[in-house]
Amino acid sequence: MNQLSATLSDGQFILVYNVLSLGLASMLFTSIFLFVARERVLPRYRLAVMVSGTVTAIATYHYFRMFDNFNHAFAGMTGNNPAAYNVGYRYVDWLLTVPLLLVELVAVLALARAAQSSMLNRLVPAAAAMILLGYPGDAHLTVFGISDPGIWGLLSTIPFLYILYVLFIELGKSLSRQSKAVQTKIKLLRILLIATWGVYPITFILAMGATGFDPSRFVAREVGYSIADILAKCLFGLIIFSVARIKSAEDDKEFAKSEFKDE
Amino acid sequence: MNQLSATLSDGQFILVYNVLSLGLASMLFTSIFLFVARERVLPRYRLAVMVSGTVTAIATYHYFRMFDNFNHAFAGMTGNNPAAYNVGYRYVDWLLTVPLLLVELVAVLALARAAQSSMLNRLVPAAAAMILLGYPGDAHLTVFGISDPGIWGLLSTIPFLYILYVLFIELGKSLSRQSKAVQTKIKLLRILLIATWGVYPITFILAMGATGFDPSRFVAREVGYSIADILAKCLFGLIIFSVARIKSAEDDKEFAKSEFKDE
């Protein structure tokens, strides 16, 4: 691969290094916590908590790879080869984790089996399509003769809007049957999802116009994606766990007594 | 080993690299999920789920090896030695995992012990024979004086057809005693099995004619095998888990109540 002349300053290198390390630690320990914490909810909510832990575990693997790849590509500030940095890890990670995030959200509601699978049959393919259509734009690849990153960004927005429609209109209907406390948390999850998923296209657009290697755009992209990942996966998974715990206590008075002293 | 003049382009290198990493992550986290998720089915279905997790765990090991071997053979795009890439890892992996995939499928039906072992006594050796006969063709080895990859491909097809016969004719008979929901899932599993196992011979034939190292055939083979592996092992194992869960709920009303809210 061709060496590019532009490179990261020491400060930029340390910033991306620290953010990737923060992402790695957040993912790893959220996973460990969620896998152990599944016992603190009723059996019917455990799959949702396990899927949340699987999402952060998948992301842990990819953050390990990105961290090593970043260190290799920029050779600890002394020499560097930005072209060796592979944004594909993020997209492979998202291809696996984003559909699973939607599975968590639907699973924790413990809807009837038919309603659950009808919702997932639409959300999961839409999430996969959204990620697959974004990759060529972010990696500056020409696929099917399309080389303009903006076109891939636009195509990727179509399944994104469809997901929002399903979450806000369709899921909204089944929310009325949940308790006030659960409704509040689910609404928070949806807002978190929109706010963090909104960071990805903004970051994508910021990085889009670069020709060759642009250090500040590179740093903005890596920092933006990492922070959004931590919110969208770790925080999201922990809220899923707290919804599962509230619903467990609501469903079963004995469980509530054994888990919370005052009830 | 001889250095070959042909090599991968940067785009081809990144494609194979990402696909092998995707395979690795899919296998690893399907394994972890299935091992933990075995608690969510009745004891009689747990072996099927544990075998599914073992299949993807074995594949995780081989994908780690293939990923490292690929990086070593192509030396991060700068120098490369395609002859150092060892397709044998895939065949060792398949020799262990493909018979186990058939064990999963039969185990999840929880047939009578006699019916189960009669079926496995035929499926397991046929699967091993299919893989062993394919290897010399794909690795371009001369064994027993046979050097034409096409002959090995044909020999390998004989046990494959026998497996299809057992799955569709023999297994079909015992399906009538299962519930509608289970029948639908088992038929889906059989179709998934045919569709994904069909990718292997097509990929084999695409790679077969090459003399020396042909980059685009190499990329097609690695991408084809990896995607087929993810579908045939991860997706297959997760559907096995969902069959085990449906059957658990059908067998035991108390279990159904504790796992699904509305039942």
Distance, in angstroms, between A101 CA and closest chain B CA? 15
pLDDT tens, position by position, B71-128: 888 775 556 666 667 777 788 888 888 888 888 888 888 777 788 888 899 999 999 9
Q: Do A141 and B11 touch (CB under 8 A)?
A: yes
Query: Pick from A38, A62, A113: which is nearest to B25 by CB?
Result: A62
Distance, in angstroms, between A133 CA and closest chain B CA? 16
Q: Do A113 and B21 touch (CB under 8 A)?
A: no
pLDDT tens, position by position, B191-232: 888 888 888 888 877 777 666 777 778 888 888 888 888 888
Query: Pick from B22, B25, B40: which is nearest to A46 by CB?
Result: B40
Q: What residues of chain B lie within 8 A of the CB of A42, using their CB?
A: 258
**Cβ atoms of residues B232 and B192 within 8 Å:** yes
What is the CB-side half-sphere exposure of residue B135 using CA atoms within 13 A? 16
Rounded CA gap, B212 and B214, in Å? 6
**Cβ atoms of residues A188 and A239 within 8 Å:** yes
Instruction: List the CATH code of the domain at A10-254.
Output: 1.20.1070.10
Average confidence (pLDDT) over A167-176: 82
Rounded CA gap, B224 and B138, in Å? 14
Q: What residues of chain A lie within 8 A of the CB of B260, using their CB?
A: 44, 110, 112-113
Q: What residues of chain B lie within 8 A of the CB of A51, using their CB?
A: 33
Query: Pick from B14, B33, B259: which is nearest to A54 by CB?
Result: B33
Contact B242/A at CB under 8 A: no
What is the CB-side half-sphere exposure of residue A123 using CA atoms within 13 A? 25
Q: What residues of chain A lie within 8 A of the CB of B9, using their CB?
A: none
Spatial neighbors of A230 by CB under 8 A, at least 6 apart, are A22, A23, A26, A27
Mean pLDDT of chain A: 83
Distance, in angstroms, between B23 CA and closest chain A CA? 10
Size of interface A-B (CB pairs under 8 A): 69
ipTM (interface pTM):
0.76
User: B58: pLDDT confidence band, cut at 50, 70 and 90?
Assistant: very high
Contact B18/A at CB under 8 A: yes
Spatial neighbors of A173 by CB under 8 A, at least 6 apart, are none
Low-confidence winner among A147-156, B30-39, B169-178 (lowest mean pLDDT): B169-178
Q: Do A54 and B40 touch (CB under 8 A)?
A: no
Note the pLDDT of residue B210: 64
Residue type, B216: S
Read off the tokens for A223. Answer: 């920092």
What residue segments make up the domains of chain B, in order of their start?
10-254
Contact A15/B at CB under 8 A: no
B170 or B162, greater pLDDT: B162
